[in-house]
Chain A
């Protein structure tokens, strides 16, 4: 039972890390369009 909970907690932590990384990536990926626009203005 304890091992099961430990594994579940590990999964929670890993998914947390994945979602945080996705947040970081998506923010910059969307914002890259701003650079494309600034390149047009350049």
Chain B
């Protein structure tokens, strides 16, 4: 019951779609029971009107599901393009709701439609195969074979959704930085499987069409009794001709409609180089790509004329040191006995003079963040057929060990940092020159130590 309530909550318009789906299955069951009981009593249904109504009643469900998935995607697209004023938590909620709406709609729709169609077909076959008063049984029109070719795709969609839902469920305990990689891996596997199922359908449909054609010819040659549909066609060839024209037009529309979607699906996504920086419009960092990995850490931004910590504007570097110290103390209270918080991401405007850079690093060291990483941002633009224009800021890093000039040597100095190269900030005119040398050394695998005087004097 809870699962059902969850499905109703997840699916957009779920309060209409889920009860309708369940009512549809119930209705098909009732029609099937009526057809079986009438046949057992030797009074099979003469008219196919009840089966026609039952068949037509299935149609609103895929249409509603189409609207539902469209609404879920529109919610996500709106969240992607929402202004910076919208809270990140609201965007995350919208994205999560939109994704849950799609992932729940696909398996529910597929299974409900397949079960309804199966029950409907059995009911119809029960009525058709009963002997008529003239002693002949009617039969399914061969054309009804063809949609069975969609069954592998339906199975593939259920399998694809189930794989993704399982991955989402298993994601709870995974570290945030690993979630993307795991999800991307699952998406690759799931796409491969869905493609395989779709290929089976793509082969099955022409084969079934051919079989339906052969059956049609055989029945015509053998003078077999015409099915109801064929009998109707016998009375008028206009109806099947019109139906054929309509089918071809709808097929054309579907192909046209699928074109941009297929182009979107075929266009590869750029790889995730470096970490995604959540803050757009940061300082204009040097045009470099750093080799060092990064994890979640406080972000210090040095602009031309002001400094920010995690996007909060600060009065001065004294304020920065104070707030960084508070962050570090809070971290240690929350992680007693754990690794100390000594990493921070430092984004600096390329034109920052070395004197200002020295003052900045003194504040960072003062708060005991002595393993800072300098970050280099790059803005990427991508134009996609359905998703539209995308922009993201990628940040890569180069890590240093930051010390006061009068710091006592520690255990690291004799170990991993024994061969470290010392860079003096005053040897560089500005941050751009320093950063180029730093990245050059880090790319060569050299550890780098930067020492700053304890006091400004």
CA distance A16 to B248 in the complex (A): 9
Known: A24-B255, A35-B387. Is A15-B146 also a contact (CB below 8 A)?
A: yes
Quote the shortest CB–CB distance from A12 to chain B (angstroms). Answer: 5
**A24 and B254 contact, CB distance less than 8 A:** yes
Known: A4-B234, A14-B245. Is A41-B99 also a contact (CB below 8 A)?
A: no
CA distance A41 to B184 in the complex (A): 9
**A1 and B146 contact, CB distance less than 8 A:** no
- Residue B278, interface by CB 8 Å: no
Q: Which residues of A contact B103 (CB under 8 A)?
A: 33
CA distance A24 to B206 in the complex (A): 13
Known: A12-B213, A14-B244, A28-B258. Is A37-B237 also a contact (CB below 8 A)?
A: no
Those of B270-329 within 8 Å (CB) of chain A: 270, 272, 276
**A18 and B250 contact, CB distance less than 8 A:** yes
Residue-wise interface mask of A (7-42) relative to B, using a CB-CB cutoff of 8 A (1 in contact, 0 not): 111111111111111111111111111111111111
Q: Number of A-B pairs whose CB atoms are under 8 Å?
A: 179
**B73 and A11 contact, CB distance less than 8 A:** no
CA distance A21 to B249 in the complex (A): 11
CA distance A42 to B272 in the complex (A): 7
CA distance A11 to B237 in the complex (A): 11
CA distance A15 to B263 in the complex (A): 25
- Residue B149, interface by CB 8 Å: yes
- Residue B142, interface by CB 8 Å: yes
Q: Which residues of B contact A7 (CB under 8 A)?
A: 233, 237, 240-241, 244
Interface of B is mostly: helix
Interface of A is mostly: helix
Residue-wise interface mask of B (50-78) relative to A, using a CB-CB cutoff of 8 A (1 in contact, 0 not): 00000000000000000001000100100
Among B102, B205, B241, the residue within 8 A (CB) of A20 is: B205
**A23 and B150 contact, CB distance less than 8 A:** yes
Q: Which residues of A contact B384 (CB under 8 A)?
A: 35
CA distance A17 to B240 in the complex (A): 15
**A22 and B150 contact, CB distance less than 8 A:** yes
**B251 and A18 contact, CB distance less than 8 A:** yes
- Residue B202, interface by CB 8 Å: yes
CA distance A37 to B195 in the complex (A): 18
Q: Which residues of B contact A39 (CB under 8 A)?
A: 76, 80, 387, 390
**B209 and A15 contact, CB distance less than 8 A:** yes
A3 nearest CB neighbor, chain B only: B237
**B187 and A37 contact, CB distance less than 8 A:** yes
- Residue B44, interface by CB 8 Å: no
Among B69, B198, B208, B243, the residue within 8 A (CB) of A14 is: B243
26 chain-A/chain-B pairs, Cβ below 8 angstroms? A5-B216, A11-B247, A12-B146, A12-B213, A14-B247, A14-B248, A18-B254, A21-B251, A21-B255, A21-B258, A23-B202, A23-B205, A25-B255, A25-B261, A26-B150, A27-B153, A27-B194, A28-B261, A29-B258, A31-B265, A32-B73, A35-B387, A37-B187, A38-B184, A39-B80, A41-B184
Q: 14 more A-B contacts (CB under 8 A) besides A11-B233, A12-B216, A27-B201?
A: A4-B230, A5-B217, A14-B244, A15-B244, A17-B251, A18-B248, A22-B254, A23-B205, A26-B157, A35-B386, A36-B387, A39-B76, A42-B276, A42-B392
Give chain A's interface residues, CB within 8 Å of chain B.
Answer: 1, 3-5, 7-42
Give chain B's interface residues, CB within 8 Å of chain A.
Answer: 69, 73, 76, 80, 95, 98-99, 102-103, 106, 142-143, 146-147, 149-150, 153, 157, 160, 164, 180, 183-184, 187, 190-191, 194-195, 198, 201-202, 205-206, 208-209, 212-213, 216-217, 220, 230, 233-234, 237, 240-241, 243-245, 247-248, 250-252, 254-255, 257-258, 261-262, 264-265, 269-270, 272, 276, 384, 386-387, 390, 392
